[in-house]
């Protein structure tokens, strides 16, 4: 991978196993806009990026070589060897071959903890476009202005201090419905020493999950998404309706309890559970499995 300036742009050459469309549209994140084919605006913390991809070359605007090295390379998980992960997964179970082949450009993003927690609390009983709309609305109302791309304004998701000022009623005004008290509880906890992301990253999967589940509106599924997408636990295996469908189809051929699916995934995929989950989730959704 080579990163350098070209006029106002930052060019990244020789990226492999990375597809910006697959990575953003696979359902792991909600804070981006599609501008054109393989052309996106992405928000991470207080950073805003325009990124276009052509083959294994990325053309980035609104950034610098330094910022790309320090922020975006990490966010997009570009330092990890996905070829190796994919080979290991396929040798663990060759039935993953098709799902991986079609979605080999999916990388698991390293997202912001507060935003990921809030986003997945919102996600319950909602479709992805609705989740995106609510994240956008919260950001516009309570987050920092970051700039404009193609005439569209972008805002950061509110940080912990901004979240502290949001009341339950204010969440309700953003159409969060019955999730408003959940978001408020999450906001209070995000501002306590107990829930700093470094601590959660380092205490181990089981303890971190236990802590997350004490937040109202956070159950097994939401906790696993936060562990996987924001806290670096790549063994986490969130089981939602799509994963349930495809796992039942591929491995059980009958109605199966979520706990049993999780046990199976842990045994079969181990530390690579999160990657397997993401390939399977996107695969199931693209195939519109019912």
User: Among the candidate windows 22-30, 38-46, 87-95, 246-254, which touches DNA by CB under 7 A?
Assistant: 22-30
3-state per-residue secondary structure call for the chain = CEEEEECCEEEEECCCCCCHHHHHHCCCCCCEEEEECCEEEEEECCEEEEEEEECCEEEEECCCHHHHHHHHHHHCCCCCCHHHHHHHHHHHCHHHHHHHHHCCCCCCCCCCHHHHHHHHHHCCCCCHHHHHHHHHHHHHHHCCEEEEECCEEEECCCCHHHHHCCCHHHHHHCCCHHHHHHHHHHHHHHCCHHHCHHHHHHCCHHHHHHHHHCCCCCCHHHHHHHHHHCCCCCCCCCCCHHHHHHHHHHHHCCCCCHHHHHHHHHHHHHHHHHHHHHHHHHHHHHCCCC
- Looking at 52, 201, 216, 266, which residue binds DNA (CB under 7 A)? 216
Nearer to DNA, 3 or 212 (CB): 212
Nearer to DNA, 146 or 247 (CB): 247
By CB under 7 A, is residue 172 in contact with DNA?
yes
By CB under 7 A, is residue 26 in contact with DNA?
yes
Site for DNA in 232-261 (CB under 7 A): 238-243, 257, 259
User: Among the candidate windows 61-69, 82-90, 148-156, 213-221, which touches DNA by CB under 7 A?
Assistant: 213-221
By CB under 7 A, is residue 48 in contact with DNA?
no
Q: How far is the CB of 128 from DNA (least distance, A)?
A: 5
By CB under 7 A, is residue 125 in contact with DNA?
yes
Q: How far is the CB of 147 from DNA (least distance, A)?
A: 26
Q: How far is the CB of 10 from DNA (least distance, A)?
A: 28
By CB under 7 A, is residue 129 in contact with DNA?
yes
Nearer to DNA, 9 or 252 (CB): 252
User: Among the candidate windows 13-21, 127-135, 201-209, 263-271, which touches DNA by CB under 7 A?
Assistant: 127-135
Evaluate whether 42 touches 32 at the Cβ level (below 8 Å). Answer: yes
By CB under 7 A, is residue 105 in contact with DNA?
no
Binding site for DNA (CB under 7 A): 26-28, 123-130, 172, 175, 177-178, 182, 213, 216-223, 225, 238-243, 257, 259, 277-278, 281
């Amino acid at each position: 991978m080579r990163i350098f300036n070209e006029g106002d742009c930052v060019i990244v050459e020789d990226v492999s196993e990375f597809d910006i469309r697959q990575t953003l549209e696979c359902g792991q994140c909600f804070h981006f806009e599609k501008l054109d084919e393989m052309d996106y605006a992405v928000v991470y913390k207080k950073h805003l990026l325009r990124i276009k991809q052509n083959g294994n070359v990325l053309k980035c605007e609104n950034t610098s070589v330094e910022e790309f090295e320090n922020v975006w390379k990490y966010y997009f998980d570009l330092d990890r060897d996905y070829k190796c992960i994919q080979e290991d997964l396929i040798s663990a179970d060759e039935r993953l071959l098709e799902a991986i082949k079609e979605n080999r450009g999916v990388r698991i993003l390293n997202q912001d903890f507060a935003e990921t927690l809030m986003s997945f609390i919102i996600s319950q009983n909602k479709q992805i476009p609705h989740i995106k709309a609510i994240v956008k609305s919260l950001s516009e109302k309570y987050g920092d202005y970051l700039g404009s791309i193609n005439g569209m304004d972008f805002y950061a998701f509110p940080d912990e201090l901004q979240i502290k000022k949001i009341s339950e009623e204010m969440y309700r005004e953003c159409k969060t419905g019955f999730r408003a008290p959940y978001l408020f509880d999450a906001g209070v906890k995000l501002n306590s020493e107990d829930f700093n992301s470094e601590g959660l990253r380092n205490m181990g999967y089981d303890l971190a999950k236990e802590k997350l589940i004490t937040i109202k509106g956070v159950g097994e599924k939401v906790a696993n998404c936060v562990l996987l997408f924001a806290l670096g636990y790549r063994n986490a295996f969130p089981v939602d309706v799509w994963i349930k469908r495809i796992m039942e189809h591929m491995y059980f051929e009958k109605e199966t309890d979520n706990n049993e699916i999780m046990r199976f995934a842990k045994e079969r995929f181990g530390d690579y559970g999160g990657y397997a989950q993401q390939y399977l989730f996107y695969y199931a959704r693209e195939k519109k499995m019912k």
